[in-house]
Chain A
Protein backbone atom coordinates (compact mmCIF):
# COMPACT_ATOMS: atom_id res chain seq x y z
CA UNK A 1 0.00 0.00 0.00
CA UNK A 2 1.44 3.24 -1.00
CA UNK A 3 0.06 4.95 1.96
CA UNK A 4 1.74 2.63 4.25
CA UNK A 5 4.94 3.14 2.38
CA UNK A 6 4.54 6.87 2.68
CA UNK A 7 3.77 6.48 6.32
CA UNK A 8 6.95 4.57 6.89
CA UNK A 9 8.90 7.20 5.00
CA UNK A 10 7.52 9.87 7.17
CA UNK A 11 8.19 7.88 10.24
CA UNK A 12 11.78 7.47 9.25
CA UNK A 13 12.07 11.16 8.51
CA UNK A 14 10.62 12.08 11.83
CA UNK A 15 12.85 9.66 13.57
CA UNK A 16 15.74 11.36 11.86
CA UNK A 17 14.49 14.57 13.28
CA UNK A 18 14.32 12.92 16.63
CA UNK A 19 17.87 11.75 16.34
CA UNK A 20 19.07 15.24 15.83
CA UNK A 21 17.48 16.45 18.97
CA UNK A 22 20.12 17.10 21.55
CA UNK A 23 18.35 17.55 24.77
CA UNK A 24 17.93 14.53 26.97
CA UNK A 25 14.31 15.37 27.45
CA UNK A 26 13.86 14.80 23.85
CA UNK A 27 15.45 11.46 24.04
CA UNK A 28 12.94 10.49 26.61
CA UNK A 29 10.19 11.73 24.44
CA UNK A 30 11.57 9.86 21.51
CA UNK A 31 11.30 6.66 23.44
CA UNK A 32 7.83 7.52 24.40
CA UNK A 33 6.85 8.21 20.91
CA UNK A 34 8.10 4.99 19.47
CA UNK A 35 5.14 3.06 20.70
CA UNK A 36 3.14 5.91 19.35
CA UNK A 37 4.65 5.48 15.96
CA UNK A 38 4.02 1.80 16.00
CA UNK A 39 0.47 2.48 16.98
CA UNK A 40 0.20 4.95 14.17
CA UNK A 41 1.52 2.54 11.64
CA UNK A 42 -0.99 -0.01 12.71
CA UNK A 43 -3.64 2.60 12.51
CA UNK A 44 -2.64 3.72 9.12
CA UNK A 45 -2.48 0.30 7.71
CA UNK A 46 -5.79 -0.91 8.96
CA UNK A 47 -8.29 1.68 7.88
CA UNK A 48 -8.31 2.95 4.39
CA UNK A 49 -8.79 6.51 3.46
CA UNK A 50 -12.36 6.02 2.68
CA UNK A 51 -13.92 9.24 3.60
CA UNK A 52 -17.38 8.01 3.31
CA UNK A 53 -17.26 5.86 6.34
CA UNK A 54 -17.56 8.55 8.92
CA UNK A 55 -18.40 6.43 11.83
CA UNK A 56 -15.53 4.10 11.21
CA UNK A 57 -13.24 7.01 11.04
CA UNK A 58 -14.52 8.42 14.21
CA UNK A 59 -13.74 5.22 15.94
CA UNK A 60 -10.32 5.10 14.40
CA UNK A 61 -9.65 8.60 15.46
CA UNK A 62 -10.81 7.96 18.96
CA UNK A 63 -8.53 5.03 19.19
CA UNK A 64 -5.67 7.13 17.99
CA UNK A 65 -6.45 9.75 20.50
CA UNK A 66 -6.64 7.18 23.19
CA UNK A 67 -3.28 5.82 22.34
CA UNK A 68 -1.76 9.21 22.10
CA UNK A 69 -3.20 10.13 25.41
CA UNK A 70 -1.82 7.07 27.07
CA UNK A 71 1.60 7.71 25.71
CA UNK A 72 1.53 11.30 26.66
CA UNK A 73 0.36 10.71 30.14
CA UNK A 74 3.30 8.48 30.71
CA UNK A 75 5.61 11.20 29.60
CA UNK A 76 7.72 13.16 31.97
CA UNK A 77 7.98 16.41 30.17
CA UNK A 78 7.16 19.38 32.28
CA UNK A 79 3.91 21.11 31.51
CA UNK A 80 3.40 24.52 30.19
CA UNK A 81 3.04 27.52 32.27
CA UNK A 82 -0.13 28.53 30.66
CA UNK A 83 -1.88 25.30 30.96
CA UNK A 84 -5.08 27.08 31.66
CA UNK A 85 -4.78 28.95 28.42
CA UNK A 86 -4.51 25.70 26.60
CA UNK A 87 -7.56 24.29 28.19
CA UNK A 88 -9.56 27.31 27.30
CA UNK A 89 -8.25 27.18 23.78
CA UNK A 90 -9.31 23.70 23.39
CA UNK A 91 -12.76 24.02 24.66
CA UNK A 92 -13.91 26.56 22.11
CA UNK A 93 -13.38 24.78 18.86
CA UNK A 94 -14.52 21.52 20.21
CA UNK A 95 -17.71 22.98 21.43
CA UNK A 96 -18.88 24.17 18.13
CA UNK A 97 -19.10 21.29 15.74
CA UNK A 98 -21.89 19.01 16.73
CA UNK A 99 -20.53 16.02 15.01
CA UNK A 100 -17.28 16.23 16.80
CA UNK A 101 -18.62 15.85 20.25
CA UNK A 102 -17.11 12.47 20.22
CA UNK A 103 -13.74 14.03 19.79
CA UNK A 104 -14.44 16.53 22.43
CA UNK A 105 -14.64 14.08 25.23
CA UNK A 106 -11.37 12.63 24.33
CA UNK A 107 -9.95 15.99 23.68
CA UNK A 108 -10.97 17.32 27.05
CA UNK A 109 -9.35 14.46 28.74
CA UNK A 110 -6.13 15.28 27.17
CA UNK A 111 -5.93 18.93 28.00
CA UNK A 112 -3.52 18.28 30.73
CA UNK A 113 -1.54 16.02 28.56
CA UNK A 114 -1.24 18.73 26.02
CA UNK A 115 1.97 20.14 27.39
CA UNK A 116 3.59 16.80 27.21
CA UNK A 117 2.58 16.55 23.63
CA UNK A 118 3.45 19.95 22.61
CA UNK A 119 6.70 19.79 24.39
CA UNK A 120 7.97 17.53 21.75
CA UNK A 121 8.60 19.56 18.68
CA UNK A 122 9.39 16.62 16.50
CA UNK A 123 6.09 15.26 17.51
CA UNK A 124 4.58 18.50 16.44
CA UNK A 125 6.14 18.08 13.07
CA UNK A 126 4.79 14.62 12.74
CA UNK A 127 1.44 15.72 13.93
CA UNK A 128 1.49 18.43 11.34
CA UNK A 129 2.21 15.98 8.65
CA UNK A 130 -0.46 13.65 9.69
CA UNK A 131 -3.04 16.21 10.37
CA UNK A 132 -3.72 16.73 6.73
CA UNK A 133 -5.44 13.44 6.83
CA UNK A 134 -7.62 14.62 9.60
CA UNK A 135 -8.47 17.74 7.72
CA UNK A 136 -9.80 15.78 4.89
CA UNK A 137 -11.79 13.62 7.16
CA UNK A 138 -13.19 16.52 8.99
CA UNK A 139 -14.32 18.06 5.80
CA UNK A 140 -16.08 14.88 5.06
CA UNK A 141 -17.50 14.72 8.52
CA UNK A 142 -18.79 18.17 8.67
CA UNK A 143 -20.01 18.29 5.18
CA UNK A 144 -19.66 21.98 5.13
CA UNK A 145 -18.45 23.89 2.16
CA UNK A 146 -15.22 25.71 2.57
CA UNK A 147 -16.26 29.13 3.60
CA UNK A 148 -12.97 30.74 4.06
CA UNK A 149 -9.56 30.10 2.86
CA UNK A 150 -7.82 28.69 5.86
CA UNK A 151 -4.51 30.02 4.83
CA UNK A 152 -5.75 33.52 5.14
CA UNK A 153 -7.87 33.59 8.21
CA UNK A 154 -6.00 32.18 11.12
CA UNK A 155 -2.51 33.28 10.34
CA UNK A 156 -2.86 36.92 11.26
CA UNK A 157 -4.37 35.85 14.49
CA UNK A 158 -1.69 33.28 14.83
CA UNK A 159 0.85 35.97 14.53
CA UNK A 160 -0.69 38.17 17.17
CA UNK A 161 -1.44 35.45 19.55
CA UNK A 162 1.83 33.85 19.07
CA UNK A 163 3.59 36.94 20.15
CA UNK A 164 1.28 37.53 23.04
CA UNK A 165 1.52 33.99 24.19
CA UNK A 166 5.15 33.53 23.79
CA UNK A 167 5.95 36.68 25.68
CA UNK A 168 5.53 35.16 29.13
CA UNK A 169 7.28 32.00 28.28
CA UNK A 170 10.37 33.00 26.53
CA UNK A 171 12.45 30.50 28.31
CA UNK A 172 10.43 27.52 27.53
CA UNK A 173 11.80 26.26 24.31
CA UNK A 174 9.21 23.72 23.58
CA UNK A 175 6.48 26.25 23.81
CA UNK A 176 7.54 27.68 20.55
CA UNK A 177 6.54 24.73 18.59
CA UNK A 178 3.13 24.62 20.06
CA UNK A 179 2.33 28.25 20.54
CA UNK A 180 1.21 28.77 17.01
CA UNK A 181 -1.12 25.92 17.47
CA UNK A 182 -2.40 27.27 20.72
CA UNK A 183 -2.77 30.64 19.22
CA UNK A 184 -4.84 29.24 16.47
CA UNK A 185 -7.01 27.51 18.94
CA UNK A 186 -7.63 30.53 20.99
CA UNK A 187 -8.84 32.38 18.00
CA UNK A 188 -10.84 29.57 16.68
CA UNK A 189 -14.20 30.84 17.56
CA UNK A 190 -15.41 29.68 14.27
CA UNK A 191 -16.12 26.10 13.76
CA UNK A 192 -13.90 23.46 12.61
CA UNK A 193 -15.52 23.73 9.27
CA UNK A 194 -13.15 26.49 8.43
CA UNK A 195 -10.32 24.15 8.53
CA UNK A 196 -10.57 22.82 5.13
CA UNK A 197 -7.81 20.65 3.92
CA UNK A 198 -5.57 22.70 1.88
CA UNK A 199 -4.97 21.40 -1.60
CA UNK A 200 -1.29 21.63 -1.09
CA UNK A 201 -1.53 19.01 1.56
CA UNK A 202 -3.33 16.63 -0.62
CA UNK A 203 -0.10 14.97 -1.34
CA UNK A 204 0.03 13.33 2.06
CA UNK A 205 -3.26 12.05 3.14
CA UNK A 206 -2.54 10.62 6.48
CA UNK A 207 -4.97 8.86 8.59
CA UNK A 208 -3.93 10.40 11.78
CA UNK A 209 -5.30 12.95 14.08
CA UNK A 210 -3.74 14.27 17.17
CA UNK A 211 -6.28 14.92 19.81
CA UNK A 212 -4.78 17.60 21.97
CA UNK A 213 -4.12 19.54 18.92
CA UNK A 214 -7.86 19.51 18.42
CA UNK A 215 -9.51 20.69 15.34
CA UNK A 216 -8.57 24.21 15.91
CA UNK A 217 -5.00 23.48 15.19
CA UNK A 218 -5.52 22.20 11.79
CA UNK A 219 -5.07 25.33 9.81
CA UNK A 220 -1.92 26.40 11.44
CA UNK A 221 -0.75 22.89 11.53
CA UNK A 222 -1.35 22.56 7.86
CA UNK A 223 0.49 25.75 7.31
CA UNK A 224 3.30 24.42 9.35
CA UNK A 225 3.28 21.17 7.53
CA UNK A 226 3.26 22.89 4.20
CA UNK A 227 6.22 24.89 5.20
CA UNK A 228 7.89 21.89 6.66
CA UNK A 229 7.74 20.14 3.40
CA UNK A 230 9.69 22.88 1.86
CA UNK A 231 12.35 23.22 4.46
CA UNK A 232 15.05 20.87 5.41
CA UNK A 233 17.08 21.94 8.30
CA UNK A 234 19.04 19.56 10.33
CA UNK A 235 19.14 21.68 13.39
CA UNK A 236 16.23 22.25 15.59
CA UNK A 237 15.45 25.64 14.23
CA UNK A 238 12.14 27.22 14.76
CA UNK A 239 12.20 28.67 11.34
CA UNK A 240 9.30 26.50 10.32
CA UNK A 241 6.99 28.63 12.35
CA UNK A 242 8.51 31.71 10.94
CA UNK A 243 7.91 30.45 7.51
CA UNK A 244 4.35 29.66 8.27
CA UNK A 245 3.85 33.16 9.41
CA UNK A 246 5.75 34.42 6.45
CA UNK A 247 3.56 32.73 4.00
CA UNK A 248 0.43 33.67 5.74
CA UNK A 249 0.64 37.22 6.89
CA UNK A 250 2.05 40.04 4.95
CA UNK A 251 2.45 42.37 7.85
CA UNK A 252 4.84 40.09 9.53
CA UNK A 253 6.73 41.76 12.25
CA UNK A 254 10.10 40.41 13.06
CA UNK A 255 9.94 38.50 16.23
CA UNK A 256 12.56 39.31 18.77
CA UNK A 257 15.40 36.92 19.16
CA UNK A 258 14.57 34.43 21.82
CA UNK A 259 17.18 33.50 24.32
CA UNK A 260 19.58 31.30 22.56
CA UNK A 261 21.55 28.56 24.01
CA UNK A 262 23.79 26.39 22.02
CA UNK A 263 21.17 24.60 20.06
CA UNK A 264 18.18 26.69 19.42
CA UNK A 265 18.39 29.47 16.97
CA UNK A 266 15.53 31.34 15.56
CA UNK A 267 15.76 32.13 11.92
CA UNK A 268 14.55 35.51 10.94
CA UNK A 269 12.44 36.26 8.00
CA UNK A 270 14.21 35.97 4.72
CA UNK A 271 17.29 34.36 6.15
CA UNK A 272 18.70 31.04 5.22
CA UNK A 273 18.09 28.23 7.58
CA UNK A 274 20.62 25.62 6.75
CA UNK A 275 23.02 24.47 9.35
CA UNK A 276 25.99 26.46 8.15
CA UNK A 277 24.32 29.79 8.04
CA UNK A 278 22.73 29.19 11.39
CA UNK A 279 26.07 28.49 12.93
CA UNK A 280 27.50 31.54 11.31
CA UNK A 281 24.69 33.64 12.56
CA UNK A 282 25.25 32.44 16.10
CA UNK A 283 28.91 33.25 15.79
CA UNK A 284 28.25 36.65 14.41
CA UNK A 285 25.92 37.44 17.22
CA UNK A 286 28.43 36.33 19.79
CA UNK A 287 30.97 38.56 18.22
CA UNK A 288 28.63 41.49 18.21
CA UNK A 289 27.95 40.92 21.88
CA UNK A 290 31.62 41.05 22.62
CA UNK A 291 31.91 44.18 20.57
CA UNK A 292 29.25 45.77 22.70
CA UNK A 293 31.18 44.91 25.81
CA UNK A 294 34.26 46.45 24.32
CA UNK A 295 32.31 49.49 23.36
CA UNK A 296 31.52 50.06 26.98
CA UNK A 297 35.13 49.69 27.96
CA UNK A 298 36.63 51.99 25.42
CA UNK A 299 35.73 55.56 26.14
CA UNK A 300 34.10 57.52 23.41
CA UNK A 301 32.85 54.65 21.35
CA UNK A 302 29.18 55.21 21.75
CA UNK A 303 28.78 57.23 18.64
CA UNK A 304 30.78 54.90 16.55
CA UNK A 305 28.85 52.33 14.63
CA UNK A 306 30.16 49.56 12.53
CA UNK A 307 32.64 46.92 13.38
CA UNK A 308 35.57 48.26 11.40
CA UNK A 309 35.61 51.67 12.98
CA UNK A 310 35.04 50.18 16.38
CA UNK A 311 37.96 47.86 15.89
CA UNK A 312 40.15 50.75 14.90
CA UNK A 313 39.12 52.62 17.98
CA UNK A 314 39.83 49.64 20.15
CA UNK A 315 43.22 49.16 18.60
CA UNK A 316 44.07 52.79 19.10
CA UNK A 317 42.98 52.65 22.66
CA UNK A 318 45.04 49.60 23.48
CA UNK A 319 48.03 51.13 21.79
CA UNK A 320 47.64 54.30 23.75
CA UNK A 321 47.37 52.37 26.96
CA UNK A 322 50.53 50.52 26.17
CA UNK A 323 52.29 53.75 25.39
CA UNK A 324 51.16 55.14 28.70
CA UNK A 325 52.64 52.16 30.44
CA UNK A 326 55.88 52.82 28.69
CA UNK A 327 55.90 56.42 29.59
CA UNK A 328 54.99 55.87 33.17
CA UNK A 329 57.58 53.20 33.54
CA UNK A 330 60.14 55.59 32.26
CA UNK A 331 59.09 58.10 34.79
CA UNK A 332 59.06 55.49 37.47
CA UNK A 333 62.71 54.73 36.91
CA UNK A 334 63.39 57.78 38.95
CA UNK A 335 61.27 56.67 41.79
CA UNK A 336 62.99 55.51 44.86
CA UNK A 337 62.15 51.99 45.85
CA UNK A 338 62.53 52.88 49.46
CA UNK A 339 59.71 55.26 49.15
CA UNK A 340 57.56 52.33 48.31
CA UNK A 341 57.14 51.53 51.91
CA UNK A 342 55.30 54.71 52.36
CA UNK A 343 53.70 54.24 49.05
CA UNK A 344 51.90 51.20 50.17
CA UNK A 345 50.10 53.14 52.77
CA UNK A 346 49.41 55.84 50.26
CA UNK A 347 48.22 53.33 47.75
CA UNK A 348 45.69 51.84 50.04
CA UNK A 349 44.34 55.27 50.52
CA UNK A 350 44.50 56.30 46.89
CA UNK A 351 43.11 53.20 45.42
CA UNK A 352 39.69 53.72 46.74
CA UNK A 353 39.53 57.18 45.41
CA UNK A 354 38.28 57.35 41.92
CA UNK A 355 41.18 58.15 39.73
CA UNK A 356 39.20 57.38 36.69
CA UNK A 357 38.83 61.02 36.01
CA UNK A 358 42.46 61.09 35.03
CA UNK A 359 41.90 58.67 32.38
CA UNK A 360 39.66 59.75 29.60
CA UNK A 361 41.34 63.08 29.27
CA UNK A 362 44.74 61.60 29.01
CA UNK A 363 43.86 58.63 27.00
CA UNK A 364 43.86 59.73 23.47
CA UNK A 365 45.80 62.90 23.15
CA UNK A 366 48.64 61.12 24.75
CA UNK A 367 51.22 61.32 22.09
CA UNK A 368 54.76 60.22 22.20
CA UNK A 369 55.84 61.83 25.38
CA UNK A 370 59.52 61.48 25.50
CA UNK A 371 60.72 64.41 23.59
CA UNK A 372 63.31 65.36 26.13
CA UNK A 373 65.15 62.13 26.00
CA UNK A 374 66.84 61.98 22.69
CA UNK A 375 68.16 58.50 22.54
CA UNK A 376 65.03 57.02 23.76
CA UNK A 377 64.51 53.53 22.39
CA UNK A 378 63.57 53.97 18.79
CA UNK A 379 60.91 51.36 18.87
CA UNK A 380 58.72 53.64 20.83
CA UNK A 381 56.86 54.15 17.64
CA UNK A 382 53.52 53.23 16.30
CA UNK A 383 53.93 49.62 15.50
CA UNK A 384 53.54 47.26 18.33
CA UNK A 385 55.37 44.38 16.77
CA UNK A 386 58.81 45.65 17.50
CA UNK A 387 57.62 46.77 20.84
CA UNK A 388 56.68 43.32 21.85
CA UNK A 389 59.97 42.06 20.65
CA UNK A 390 61.70 44.69 22.62
CA UNK A 391 59.74 43.54 25.55
CA UNK A 392 61.00 40.06 24.97
CA UNK A 393 64.54 41.30 24.94
CA UNK A 394 63.87 43.34 27.99
CA UNK A 395 62.54 40.28 29.69
CA UNK A 396 65.72 38.38 29.16
CA UNK A 397 67.71 41.36 30.23
CA UNK A 398 65.57 41.87 33.25
CA UNK A 399 65.99 38.34 34.41
CA UNK A 400 69.73 38.71 34.32
CA UNK A 401 69.41 42.16 35.77
CA UNK A 402 67.52 40.93 38.76
CA UNK A 403 69.98 38.20 39.40
CA UNK A 404 72.81 40.65 39.39
CA UNK A 405 71.12 42.93 41.79
CA UNK A 406 70.40 40.22 44.23
CA UNK A 407 74.03 40.11 44.91
CA UNK A 408 74.59 43.80 44.78
CA UNK A 409 74.23 46.27 47.55
CA UNK A 410 70.78 47.51 48.23
CA UNK A 411 70.13 50.80 46.56
CA UNK A 412 67.94 52.24 49.14
CA UNK A 413 70.23 55.06 49.73
CA UNK A 414 69.77 56.36 46.30
CA UNK A 415 66.67 58.16 47.18
CA UNK A 416 67.47 61.57 48.51
CA UNK A 417 70.02 62.81 46.12
CA UNK A 418 68.15 61.41 43.23
CA UNK A 419 64.89 63.00 44.11
CA UNK A 420 66.46 66.37 44.33
CA UNK A 421 68.11 65.92 41.04
CA UNK A 422 65.03 64.85 39.35
CA UNK A 423 62.70 67.34 40.71
CA UNK A 424 63.62 69.55 37.91
CA UNK A 425 62.92 66.94 35.36
CA UNK A 426 59.70 65.60 36.69
CA UNK A 427 57.71 68.80 36.49
CA UNK A 428 58.78 69.35 32.92
CA UNK A 429 57.77 65.91 31.90
CA UNK A 430 54.52 66.34 33.64
CA UNK A 431 53.95 69.50 31.81
CA UNK A 432 54.34 67.54 28.68
CA UNK A 433 51.69 65.17 29.82
CA UNK A 434 49.20 67.85 30.33
CA UNK A 435 49.35 68.93 26.75
Chain B
Protein backbone atom coordinates (compact mmCIF):
# COMPACT_ATOMS: atom_id res chain seq x y z
CA UNK B 1 0.00 0.00 0.00
CA UNK B 2 1.60 3.19 -1.13
CA UNK B 3 -0.42 5.25 1.24
CA UNK B 4 1.24 3.69 4.23
CA UNK B 5 4.17 6.02 4.12
CA UNK B 6 2.02 9.02 3.77
CA UNK B 7 -0.82 8.59 6.15
CA UNK B 8 0.26 8.13 9.72
CA UNK B 9 -3.18 7.20 10.85
CA UNK B 10 -3.38 4.41 8.42
CA UNK B 11 -0.05 3.02 9.46
CA UNK B 12 -1.28 3.16 12.98
CA UNK B 13 -4.29 1.18 11.98
CA UNK B 14 -2.21 -1.47 10.34
CA UNK B 15 0.32 -1.71 13.08
CA UNK B 16 -2.32 -1.90 15.72
CA UNK B 17 -3.90 -4.75 13.90
CA UNK B 18 -2.11 -7.82 14.94
CA UNK B 19 -0.42 -10.29 12.83
CA UNK B 20 -3.07 -12.99 12.37
CA UNK B 21 -0.99 -15.70 13.98
CA UNK B 22 -0.33 -13.85 17.17
CA UNK B 23 -3.90 -12.74 17.34
CA UNK B 24 -5.13 -16.25 16.91
CA UNK B 25 -2.79 -17.59 19.51
CA UNK B 26 -3.98 -15.08 22.03
CA UNK B 27 -7.58 -15.64 21.24
CA UNK B 28 -7.23 -19.38 21.34
CA UNK B 29 -5.51 -19.51 24.67
CA UNK B 30 -8.01 -17.21 26.24
CA UNK B 31 -10.94 -18.98 24.78
CA UNK B 32 -9.74 -22.35 25.90
CA UNK B 33 -9.18 -21.07 29.37
CA UNK B 34 -12.62 -19.65 29.43
CA UNK B 35 -14.05 -22.88 28.16
CA UNK B 36 -12.31 -24.78 30.87
CA UNK B 37 -13.79 -22.47 33.37
CA UNK B 38 -17.17 -23.26 32.07
CA UNK B 39 -17.85 -26.28 34.16
CA UNK B 40 -21.18 -27.61 33.19
CA UNK B 41 -23.44 -28.82 35.83
CA UNK B 42 -23.28 -32.48 36.44
CA UNK B 43 -26.93 -33.26 36.33
CA UNK B 44 -27.50 -34.01 32.67
CA UNK B 45 -24.35 -35.40 31.22
CA UNK B 46 -25.67 -34.69 27.88
CA UNK B 47 -27.75 -31.67 28.74
CA UNK B 48 -31.08 -33.17 28.07
CA UNK B 49 -33.13 -30.28 29.15
CA UNK B 50 -33.50 -27.55 26.73
CA UNK B 51 -32.92 -24.97 29.37
CA UNK B 52 -29.60 -26.48 30.14
CA UNK B 53 -28.67 -26.44 26.53
CA UNK B 54 -29.68 -22.85 26.28
CA UNK B 55 -27.69 -22.00 29.29
CA UNK B 56 -24.63 -23.72 28.08
CA UNK B 57 -24.93 -22.21 24.71
CA UNK B 58 -25.17 -18.79 26.15
CA UNK B 59 -22.27 -19.49 28.37
CA UNK B 60 -20.07 -20.58 25.56
CA UNK B 61 -21.05 -17.63 23.48
CA UNK B 62 -20.35 -15.28 26.31
CA UNK B 63 -17.05 -16.95 26.84
CA UNK B 64 -16.23 -16.47 23.21
CA UNK B 65 -16.99 -12.76 23.25
CA UNK B 66 -15.38 -12.22 26.59
CA UNK B 67 -12.21 -13.92 25.59
CA UNK B 68 -12.15 -11.98 22.37
CA UNK B 69 -12.56 -8.72 24.17
CA UNK B 70 -10.01 -9.46 26.82
CA UNK B 71 -7.50 -10.70 24.31
CA UNK B 72 -7.73 -7.43 22.47
CA UNK B 73 -7.68 -5.51 25.70
CA UNK B 74 -8.83 -1.95 26.24
CA UNK B 75 -7.02 -0.71 23.19
CA UNK B 76 -10.04 -0.88 20.99
CA UNK B 77 -13.31 0.86 21.55
CA UNK B 78 -15.36 -2.20 20.76
CA UNK B 79 -13.48 -4.37 23.19
CA UNK B 80 -13.92 -1.78 25.86
CA UNK B 81 -17.62 -1.69 25.18
CA UNK B 82 -17.81 -5.46 25.33
CA UNK B 83 -15.95 -5.61 28.59
CA UNK B 84 -18.19 -2.97 30.00
CA UNK B 85 -21.15 -5.10 29.09
CA UNK B 86 -19.63 -8.09 30.77
CA UNK B 87 -18.81 -6.36 33.99
CA UNK B 88 -21.55 -3.91 34.65
CA UNK B 89 -24.15 -2.22 32.60
CA UNK B 90 -22.28 1.05 32.39
CA UNK B 91 -23.60 2.39 29.18
CA UNK B 92 -21.05 4.91 28.06
CA UNK B 93 -23.30 6.65 25.64
CA UNK B 94 -21.39 9.79 25.16
CA UNK B 95 -22.64 10.92 21.87
CA UNK B 96 -20.71 13.91 20.57
CA UNK B 97 -23.32 14.91 18.08
CA UNK B 98 -22.76 12.06 15.73
CA UNK B 99 -26.10 11.69 14.11
CA UNK B 100 -25.65 14.31 11.48
CA UNK B 101 -22.35 12.88 10.35
CA UNK B 102 -23.58 9.36 10.13
CA UNK B 103 -24.65 8.85 6.63
CA UNK B 104 -25.68 5.23 6.40
CA UNK B 105 -23.70 3.92 9.31
CA UNK B 106 -26.74 3.57 11.51
CA UNK B 107 -26.98 -0.16 11.22
CA UNK B 108 -23.31 -0.66 11.62
CA UNK B 109 -23.24 1.10 14.92
CA UNK B 110 -25.89 -1.27 16.21
CA UNK B 111 -23.85 -4.26 15.25
CA UNK B 112 -20.41 -3.30 16.33
CA UNK B 113 -20.26 -3.10 20.11
CA UNK B 114 -19.91 0.41 21.32
CA UNK B 115 -20.79 1.82 17.98
CA UNK B 116 -23.09 4.60 19.02
CA UNK B 117 -20.57 6.78 20.70
CA UNK B 118 -18.18 6.96 17.80
CA UNK B 119 -17.85 9.12 14.76
CA UNK B 120 -17.91 7.63 11.30
CA UNK B 121 -14.21 7.44 10.78
CA UNK B 122 -13.39 5.62 13.97
CA UNK B 123 -16.46 3.48 13.57
CA UNK B 124 -15.07 2.17 10.34
CA UNK B 125 -11.75 1.55 12.03
CA UNK B 126 -13.38 -0.38 14.78
CA UNK B 127 -15.43 -2.36 12.35
CA UNK B 128 -12.35 -3.43 10.50
CA UNK B 129 -10.63 -4.60 13.64
CA UNK B 130 -13.77 -6.23 14.93
CA UNK B 131 -14.13 -8.16 11.72
CA UNK B 132 -10.58 -9.38 12.00
CA UNK B 133 -11.10 -10.58 15.53
CA UNK B 134 -14.41 -12.19 14.75
CA UNK B 135 -12.88 -14.06 11.88
CA UNK B 136 -10.08 -15.32 14.07
CA UNK B 137 -12.47 -16.32 16.82
CA UNK B 138 -14.68 -18.26 14.48
CA UNK B 139 -11.70 -20.05 13.06
CA UNK B 140 -10.59 -21.05 16.51
CA UNK B 141 -13.98 -22.33 17.46
CA UNK B 142 -14.19 -24.30 14.26
CA UNK B 143 -10.85 -25.82 14.86
CA UNK B 144 -11.79 -26.81 18.35
CA UNK B 145 -14.86 -28.46 17.03
CA UNK B 146 -13.02 -30.22 14.30
CA UNK B 147 -10.34 -31.47 16.59
CA UNK B 148 -12.82 -32.62 19.16
CA UNK B 149 -15.03 -34.31 16.64
CA UNK B 150 -12.10 -35.93 14.96
CA UNK B 151 -10.80 -37.20 18.25
CA UNK B 152 -14.22 -38.43 19.15
CA UNK B 153 -14.66 -40.30 15.92
CA UNK B 154 -11.43 -42.04 16.58
CA UNK B 155 -12.89 -43.38 19.73
Contacts and interface: CB of A to CB of B under 8 A. Distances in A.
Contacts of B149: 426, 430
Interface residues of A, number: 86
A203 interface: no
A290 B128 contact: yes
Contacts of A384: 110-111
B46 A287 contact: no
Given A289-B10, A318-B130, A331 B145 contact: yes
A333 B138 contact: no
B42 A355 contact: no
A332 B145 contact: yes
A430 B149 CA distance: 10
B59 A398 contact: yes
A314 interface: yes
Interface in A380-429: 384-385, 388, 390-395, 397-399, 401-402, 404-406, 408-411, 414, 416-423, 426
Given A289-B7, A293-B128, A347 B134 contact: no
B59 A401 contact: yes
Contacts of B124: 287, 290-291, 293-294
A139 interface: no
A259 interface: yes
Contacts of A333: 40, 47, 53, 56-57, 59-60
Interface in B39-89: 39-42, 45-47, 50, 53-66, 85-86, 89
Tell me which of A293, A356, A419, A423 has the highest count of chain B C-beta atoms within 10 A of its own C-beta.
A293
Contacts of B53: 330, 333, 373
A394 B61 contact: yes
Interface residues of B, number: 79
Interface string A359-386: 1000000000000010111000000110
Interface string A169-195: 000000000000000000000000000
Interface string B122-153: 00110110111011011111111111110111
Interface string A294-331: 10011000000001100100110111011011101111
Nearest to B149: A426
**Interface-centre pick from A283, A290, A331, A406 (highest chain B CB count, 10 A):** A290
B57 A398 contact: no
Contacts of A52: none
Interface centre among B41, B59, B110 (most CB of A within 10 A): B59
A314 to B, nearest CB: 6
B40 A414 contact: yes
Label chain B's interface by main secondary structure.
helix
A1 interface: no
A332 B60 contact: yes
Contact of B85 (A317, A375, A392): A392
Given A314-B108, A405-B41, A342 B151 contact: yes
Contacts of B135: 321, 359
Contact of B39 (A286, A391, A408): A408
A311 B104 contact: yes
5 contacts: A351-B140, A405-B37, A405-B40, A417-B45, A420-B155
Given A399-B86, A426-B152, 8 more contacts: A322-B111, A333-B47, A333-B59, A337-B38, A391-B61, A404-B41, A409-B42, A419-B152
Interface of B: 3, 6-10, 13, 21, 24-25, 28-29, 32, 35-42, 45-47, 50, 53-66, 85-86, 89, 103-105, 107-108, 110-113, 120-121, 124-125, 127-128, 130-132, 134-135, 137-149, 151-153, 155
Interface of A: 259-261, 283, 286-287, 289-291, 293-294, 297-298, 307-308, 311, 314-315, 317-319, 321-322, 324-326, 328-337, 339-340, 342-344, 346-347, 350-352, 355-356, 358-359, 373, 375-377, 384-385, 388, 390-395, 397-399, 401-402, 404-406, 408-411, 414, 416-423, 426, 430
7 A-B pairs with least C-beta separation: A290-B124, A394-B58, A329-B60, A333-B56, A259-B6, A329-B61, A405-B39
